[in-house]
Structure 1
Amino acid sequence: MADPKGFMRHARREWPRRPVGERVKDWDEVYVPGGVLPFVEQQAERCMDCGVPFCHEACPLGNLVPEWNDLVSRADWHAAAERLHATNNFPEFTGRLCPAPCEAGCVLAINQPAVTIKNVEAAVADRVWADGLAPPRPPERLSGKSVGVVGSGPAGLAAAQQLTRAGHTVVVYERDDRPGGLLRYGIPAFKMEKAQLERRLAQLRAEGTRFRTSTAVGRDIGAARLRARHDAVVLAVGATAWRELPVPGRALAGVVQAMEYLPPANRVCEGDLDVSPLSAAGKHVVIVGGGDTGADCLGTAVREGAASVTQVDIRVLPPAERDEAVDPWPVYPTVHRVSPAHEEAGELRFAQDPDADARLFAASALRFSGDGAGRVRAVHLGGVDARRRPVPGAERTLRADLVLLALGFEGPEVAAGGAVAELGVAVTRDGTVARDEEYATDVPGVYAAGDAGRGQSLVVWAIAEGRAVAAAVDRHLMGATSLPSPVTASTRPLRA
């Protein structure tokens, strides 16, 4: 512990964001480049190095938070990078995309603002690349075993890197034209620039991981051939089966799923398209769904030049502070959060309704209405209470030229011809791939990790499962393993 009174000497300071008027004109990350570095050592000093650090328990990776906070406070970036990478393959992903359950579990957060763990993590990750502290780590010898990983999102990439470093020959199969999964075409560049992803992919390739893009299991390679080619197969296809909204008017043109809207916008940033075919430019946009995907749509529509954007959230307005009776420390609390996208839409007055951050809480989409040409023109909303029961007299109508459904995901795609169906693995009632505690499915040699088996979750859980499934596969192939296994298939987040 560098400074026993650090949490008393220094107030919490967060990574500053670029001015709203500047950042909405480009697709660069919203944060000031290097903006956390001038004070990150002081922020790390706020860590109390608790006797029982609950940040460990709150993080599925088991990140050694007090250790690398102490090292950062002493400006020992090389050692901090080693401790960070000891538990996390991709800290630049989690440092930007994870909602930081570790901060909710910070002991300091019992009665003070938590340590800025996520910001410190991102600062270390950025120094790693700036100082050349992330060289490829190819294995010293090969095992003679081969593993096929289906899917190149965070779970697939973590599993592939761990297994490659253990000496196995790993091939990653990705149905899109570039690897990365939702990190590539789902997450907007203003949340994480693709250079962050490209650097890790280059590292994986240098270590020996092979990638086969534009290759879908069931279409371009059959299940029998895949299993014959590899000694083990890891299904890491994510949870891409989106939830529907079966209300009148759903079939109108202009009512689309969020994951039909976000990939073309990302392809514009990749240089594949000049303009997205679903661009929000000049349109009145309504986003149905109050989660992170909806916020991603909000920030994207603002940058595309929408006439207005409103995000509809069925939840009632959450409290500003943790409600100890509902979400006692150290569980992740339900509180009112303002993402960069909400800040942008609010400050620039993009909403039809005068809500400060462009969100309508306690509202449910009842139906869509359109014009004579079959295009959507309005969203009809009803009010709901905390138990989502209708509230009489709270109906309203929003103008809409584009409606984006961001209602979350049910699980992996299980339709005939896809990877799940082709491999013949069992599926649970919830629509996820059935597996045991060691991530093994009912098909010998086939394992499932990430959202495919867990259901829709966080990037930090995907990486943790990728690391854990790698240990399980290594044990299956070699009889023993030295790879870490941070979570089991049934491990769940801290709950009250």
Structure 2
Amino acid sequence: MGKPTGFLEIKRDKPFEEPPKKRVRHFGEYGERFTEEQMKAQGARCMDCGTPFCHMGIEIRGVAAGCPIQNVIPEWNDLVYKGQWKDALDRLLMTNNFPEFTGRVCPAPCESSCTLAISEPAVAIKSIERSIIDKGFEEGWITPRVPSNRTGKKIAIVGSGPAGLTAADDLNQDGHTVTVFERDDRPGGLLMYGIPSMKLDKDVVTRRVQLLSEEGVQFIVNTEIGVDRTLHDLREEFDAVILCVGAQRQRVLHLPGDDATGIVPAMTYLTSTTKNLLDGHKAEIDVKGKHVLVIGGGDTGADCVATAVRQNCKSVVQFGKHPRLPDARDEMHMWPSDPNIFKMDYAYEEAQAVKGQDPREYLIQTKEIVKGANGQVTALRTVQMEKVIGEDGFHYFRELPGTEKEWPADIVFVAIGFEGIDPEVAEGTDLSMSRNRISASKVDYATNIPGVFTAGDARRGQSLVVWAIREGKEAAQKVNQYIYSVQPV
């Protein structure tokens, strides 16, 4: 597992990243893969730790610990260290359908569970993973795998995000005929339109979709289930259906003035920007020269910050209701769970470099949206809060009198999370729902409608790409069992 003394001799490194002031001039990926020498050196840091926790793939207090798809990380780290690149790729692809996605956008819970991370910077697992798969494509090692036999069974998958693509890949390799329905004009779902191009270049997504197509998966775009086709239609035509429609219903503000013009859902902004870039059109939502406020302190809000900086906004501020995270692990997030510590992600590095300061504001609550005479948003009124522990032991937020403030705003992006699936999917059906999610246990991923399954964010709620991949794989296994038990091939 790497060089026995590598973790003592070699420091953690990272691939080249374009400087913030330069990369904000375009929407291309800002990071590269490791060189071969870097790969070998970083693979050498993998310890012979006896019981690796990096690939255990569980949740501790609702936080991921280890790789959810259980990549056998020490094995391909060792192969990289030895220069056995093709073998490393083969070992990686045994567990991960799409390392080119996870190696770019996954928050890497595997690194948080690295034994070395107890006291030192973790092994650079995510960057090594991306470097392996990128090298594999560059060397031409990844070619279409067309199944030699077909079962004659037809599977419909609704949604082409990470869960849907994973299920499609596995079921196609099992010999079934797979059709993927996508409501947008391009396959990829969240990967295509939910994640900005600077984090995940769309050529990377298109390359994988094309590979799946060459392997036999059929993609039908511009088709929304519940609108253009019904779930009943699919159930009549196909032997099984998997709903991987994501959790795309965005939460909205319920505040005085929330009907103002210029209050825009975050995903509307991100999707529109990516679509316009791909189509070669001028941005429909352009914040050049505008005061931008982002409500919501998560990754989607950060992507709005990065996009606004690229469009040369006048100013950008991101509101978060939680306190600033600690610089080191606290007792609530002990190893091997994710440490949940303060980080300077790409968007904040860029905003600080271009605008002169970190755009994040903490413990802040928006109270009112101020409108001008024409109904356009002109400002947000806020109050600071403090986080306190009540007598019952739960945390509460308490407003601090005298901290009211008005922030100028020409446009506001709302990034406060997602409520669940869009309602059209379940309308007119007996599909059982719970908290705006499709009801199905993780035991079999089956809904209450025979032959209809679900996976990913549609079942579990908003989550990570890597959890969607895991659910797509497990749902595919359950569909296979259903096909062979209920309708023998």
Q: TM-score, normalised by structure 2?
A: 0.94
Alignment of 1:378-457 (within 5 A): 378-386=379-387, 387-414=396-423, 418-428=424-434, 430-436=435-441, 437-457=443-463
1:456 Cα offset (Å): 0.3
CA shift for structure 1 position 424: 2.9
Q: How does 1:145-160 map to 2 (within 5 A)?
A: 145-160=153-168
Where does the alignment leave 5 or more consecutive residues of structure 1 unmatched? 351-355, 481-496
1-structure distance, mates of 2:320, 2:15: 27
- Which secondary structure does the structure 2 equivalent of 1:87 belong to? coil
Residue in 2 that maps onto 1:364? 365
Q: CA deviation at 1:423?
A: 4.3
Tell me how far apart the structure 1 counterparts of residues 335 and 103 of structure 2 sit (CA, whole Å).
Answer: 22
What are structure 2's unaligned runs of at least 5 residues? 57-65, 388-395
Q: Which of the numbers 337, 340, 346 marks the counterpart of 1:340?
A: 346
Q: 1:421 Cα shift?
A: 2.6
Distance in 2 (alpha carbons) for counterparts of 1:289 and 1:37: 39
Match of 2:377 in 1: 376
Q: 1:146 to 1:75 in 2, by over 3 A?
A: same
State the TM-score, normalized to the length of structure 1.
0.92
CA RMSD for the aligned pairs? 1.3
1:127-186 Cα deviation digits (max 9, x unpaired): 111011211112110011100000000000000010001000000000111111111111
Task: Give the alignment of 1:477-492 within 5 angstroms.
Answer: 477-479=483-485
Query: What is the rounded CA distance, in whole Å, between the counterparts of 1:234 and 1:472 in structure 2?
Result: 10
Residue of structure 2 equivalent to 1:39: 38
Question: Do the aligned residues in 1 keep the contact of 2:161 with 2:246 (CA within 8 Å)?
Answer: yes
Counterparts of 1:83-98 in structure 2 under 5 Å? 83-98=91-106
> Separation in 2 of the partners of 1:381 and 1:154?
37
1:397 aligned counterpart, secondary structure: strand
Partner of residue 64 from structure 1, selected from 72, 75, 80: 72
Separation of aligned partners in 2, 1:367 and 1:229: 50
Question: Which residue number corresponds to residue 3 of structure 1?
Answer: 3
Assess if the C-alpha contact under 8 Å between 2:34 and 2:128 holds in 1.
no
**For 2:397, what is the secondary structure of its paired residue?**
coil
Quote the residue 1:276 is aligned against.
283
Identity of aligned residues (%): 42
* 2:2 and 2:48 in contact (8 A); partners too: no
The match for 1:319 is 326
Secondary structure at 2:474's aligned position in 1? helix
SS at match of 1:40: helix
**Equivalent position of 1:458 in the other structure:** 464
Instruction: Provide the C-alpha distance between the structure 2 equivalents of 1:310 and 1:92, rounded to a whole number of angstroms.
Output: 31
In 2, the alpha carbon distance for the partners of 1:270 and 1:5 equals 47
Question: Match of 2:60?
Answer: none
Q: Which amino acid aligns with 1:222?
A: T
The alignment status of 1:162 with 2:163, answered yes or no, reads: no
Shift of 1:298: 0.5
Aligned to 2:61: none
- For 1:184, give the aligned amino acid: M
SS at match of 1:217: coil
| In structure 2, C-alpha distance between the alignment counterparts of 1:371 and 1:463, rounded to whole Å | 46
**Structure 1's 394 and 38: CA in aligned 2 closer, same or farther, altered over 3 A?**
farther
| Correspondent of 1:285 among 280, 292, 301 | 292
Contact 2:377 2:409 in 1 (8 A): yes
Partner of 1:485: none
Cα distance in 2, alignment partners of residues 99 and 232 from structure 1 = 33
Q: C-alpha separation between the residues in 1 aligned to 2:216 and 2:265?
A: 37
